[in-house]
Amino acid sequence: MDFGLTDEQRLLIDSVRRFIKEELQPLEDEIERNDDIDSKAARAVYEKSKSLGLYALNMPEEFGGGGLSAVDSMLCEEQFGHTTDILVRRAFGDVYEALLACRGEQVDRWLRPAVSGERICGFAITEPGAGSDAQNIKTTASQVEGGWVLNGTKHFISDAEASDCFIVSARTGPSEISLFLVDKGLPGFTVGRRQRMMGLRGTTHNELVFDNVKLEPVALLGETGAGFKAAMSMLGRVRLSLIGARAVGRASHVLEMMTEYAAMRQQFGKPLGEFQLIQEMIADSVIEINSARLMVLRAAWMLDQGLDARGWISMVKVQASEVLNRVVDRGVQVFGGMGYCQEMPLERYFRDARIFRIFDGTSEIHRVVIARTALKQGPALFDLHR
Ligand SMILES: Cc1cc2nc3c(=O)[nH]c(=O)nc-3n(C[C@H](O)[C@H](O)[C@H](O)COP(=O)(O)OP(=O)(O)OC[C@H]3O[C@@H](n4cnc5c(N)ncnc54)[C@H](O)[C@@H]3O)c2cc1C
C-alpha cells in the first residue's frame, strides 16, 4: 500500500494549483457580484488552460483528453475545489464520461467537440416530479419513422444557458429509460426559465422544455433501455469528482483560512488559536478532511482496478459533502462577524457548500444505498479482508 505521490503527480497538482491561484481566483469576486461570468474572461481562461493541457483531464487521450487515471483525476479535482463552480466549468470542463458511449458518427458530432471544449454538453435527468426518484420521469421519446419525438420538461439543469447540447433521459417504453443527445436550437426545444439558487453564482440553472422535438436516429446514446443504468454509472464518477474531491478541496481551502486567521486575530490579548474551543474546531476539521480525502482516493483506486465502487462512492458522497458543510460552518464561526460579512468569501462558501448534500443524490438517498448494500453484501463494504 503506497500513499506517496509520484513526481508526476506533484507536478500535475502544482500546475493546477498555480493556474487556479493566478488565473481563476482573481475573477471570483466579480462573478459573485454579477452572478455571471464575462464571456471574454471565460474564453481567456479556457484558452489558457487548454494551452497548458489542463482541459478535460478525465477523458481518454484518443479523443483529445488528458487520459488521467481516476486517482490522478481526483488529485486535480481536489484542487478544483479551491475555486468556484463556473470557473472550473470554463477552465477545465465538466465533460461527462457518459459521452464515451458515443459510437460512429456520434464521436465527431458530440464526443470530440465536448472533449476539445468547442461545445459544452450538459446533462438533464431531473424533472419537477422526479428528483431522487429518477426512474419516475415523464419525459418520453417515441420512435417514429426517421427517428424519435421527444416530449417533456426537465429542471434545475446546470449550465443550461451556455450548453450547446444535453444528454437527456427519456422514457422509451413503460419500463424503459434511454439517453439521447439533444442539440440546442432544434425546433420545439426551449431553454426555459432561469431558476435562481442560494449559491453557485455565475452558473445558470434552467428548465428545459421539449415540445415534439424531432431527433435523428443517431441521437440515441447507447442501447434503448440502457439509459437509467448508464446515467447512474455516469453519476458515480461525477459524484466522486464533482462532489467528493471538490468538497475536500473546498474544505481544505476554508481550513487554511481558519488557521491563518486563528494565528493572526487577537482577542483577550492572545491569538484565537490559543483558545482550546477554537483549537477543537481546527482539529476536528483536520481529522475530517483527511478521512474524506482517503475515502475519495480509495474509491478512485477501486475504479482504476475495475472494481465495483458504487457503495464506496455513496459513502464518499455523504462523508465529503457533510464534512465540507461542518468545516465551512466552523470557518464562519472562527471568523466571527467577518465570517458572516460579505467582505469575506466565507459566507459565499457557506451558501455554495449547502448544495453538496443535495445534488447528485441527497445524503438520505445515499444512506439508503449504503445500508441496503451493507445488509445485502455483509462485511464486504466495511471489512478490508472480505
Ligand atoms: C444547484 C442544482 C444543480 C443541479 N444540477 C442538475 C443537473 O445539471 N442535471 C440534473 O439532471 N439535475 C440537477 N439537479 C437536480 C438534483 O440532482 C436534485 O435536486 C436532487 O437529486 C434531489 O431531487 P429533488 O430536488 O427533486 O428532491 P426530492 O427528491 O423531492 O427530495 C426532497 C427530500 O426528500 C428526501 N427523500 C426523497 N426520497 C427519500 C427516501 N426514499 N428516503 C428518505 N428521504 C428521501 C430527500 O433526501 C430530500 O431531503 C440540480 C439541483 C440543484 C439544486
DSSP one-letter string for 7-66: HHHHHHHHHHHHHIIIIIGGGHHHHHHHTS--HHHHHHHHHHHHHTT-TTTTS-GGGTS-
Return the pLDDT at 205.
98
Do the beta carbons of residue 170 and residue 158 sit within 8 Å? no
Distance of CA 361 from the midpoint of ligand 1 (Å)? 6
What is d(CA 28, CA 85) in angstroms, rounded to the nearest whole number? 10
The rounded mean pLDDT for the chain is: 96
The answer, as to whether pTM is greater than 0.85, is yes
Lowest mean pLDDT, pick from 66-80, 85-99, 147-161, 223-237: 223-237
Residue 238 pLDDT grade (very low, low, confident, very high; cuts 50, 70, 90): confident
pLDDT tier for residue 229 given thresholds of 50, 70 and 90: confident
Which of the four pLDDT bands, split at 50, 70 and 90, describes residue 113? very high
Q: Which pLDDT value is given to residue 380?
A: 85
Residue 386 scores a pLDDT above 80: no
Q: Whose CA is nearest to atom 23 of ligand 1?
A: 131
Is any ligand 1 atom within 6 A of the Cβ of residue 362?
yes
% the chain with pLDDT above 70: 100
State which H helix or E strand residue 124 sits in.
Answer: strand 121-124
For 132-184, how does the pLDDT look when each residue is reduced to its tens digit (9 = 90+)?
A: 999 999 999 999 999 999 999 999 999 999 999 999 999 999 999 999 999 99
Q: What mean pLDDT is predicted for residues 310-322? A: 96
Q: How confident is the model at residue 231 (pLDDT cuts 50, 70, 90)?
A: confident
Mean pLDDT computed over 342-359: 97
Integer Cα distance of 107 and 112 in angstroms: 6
CA torsion, points 176, 181, 187, 191, in degrees to nearest 10?
90
pLDDT at 385 over 80: no
Q: Is 130 in the pocket of ligand 1 (CB under 6 A)?
A: no
Read off the DSSP letter of residue 114. H
CA of 355 to the centre of ligand 1 (A): 10
Confidence label for 384 from pLDDT (cuts 50, 70 and 90): confident
Say if residue 369's pLDDT is above 80: yes
Between 17-21, 236-240, 302-306, 323-327, the lowest mean confidence (pLDDT) is in 236-240
Report residue 383's pLDDT band, with 50, 70 and 90 as the boundaries. confident
Q: Which domains does the chain have, with CATH numbers?
A: 7-116 (1.10.540.10), 121-225 (2.40.110.10), 228-381 (1.20.140.10)
pLDDT at 371: 96
CA distance 171 to 160: 21
Does residue 235 surpass a pLDDT of 90?
A: no
pLDDT at 226: 86
Please name the residue that has the C-alpha cell 500535475. Answer: 12
Q: Express each pLDDT in 6-18 by its tens digit.
A: 999 999 999 999 9
Q: Strand 165-173 relative to strand 176-183: parallel, antiparallel, unpaired?
A: antiparallel
Residue 211 has pLDDT above 90, yes or no: yes
Query: Which pLDDT belongs to residue 63?
Result: 97
Q: Which of 233, 237, 294, 222 is nearest to 69 (CA)?
A: 237
Residues paired with residue 153 on neighbouring β-strands, in sequence order: 209
Distance of CA 132 from the midpoint of ligand 1 (Å): 5
pLDDT at 2: 87
Alpha-helical (H) ranges within the chain are: 7-19, 28-34, 39-51, 70-80, 85-92, 105-106, 112-116, 227-238, 246-264, 276-304, 310-335, 337-340, 346-354, 363-377
- Choosing from 156, 159, 168, 194 the residue with most ligand 1 atoms within 8 A of its CB, the one to mutate for a pocket test is 156
Cβ–ligand 1 contact at 368 (below 6 Å) = yes
| Residues composing the chain | 386
CB of 373 sitting under 6 A from ligand 1? no
Question: Which whole-number Å values give the CA distances from 313 to 56, 97, 245, 326, 369, in the listed order?
Answer: 21, 16, 11, 20, 10
- Say what the pLDDT of residue 165 is: 98
Say if residues 152 and 210 touch (Cβ distance below 8 Å). yes
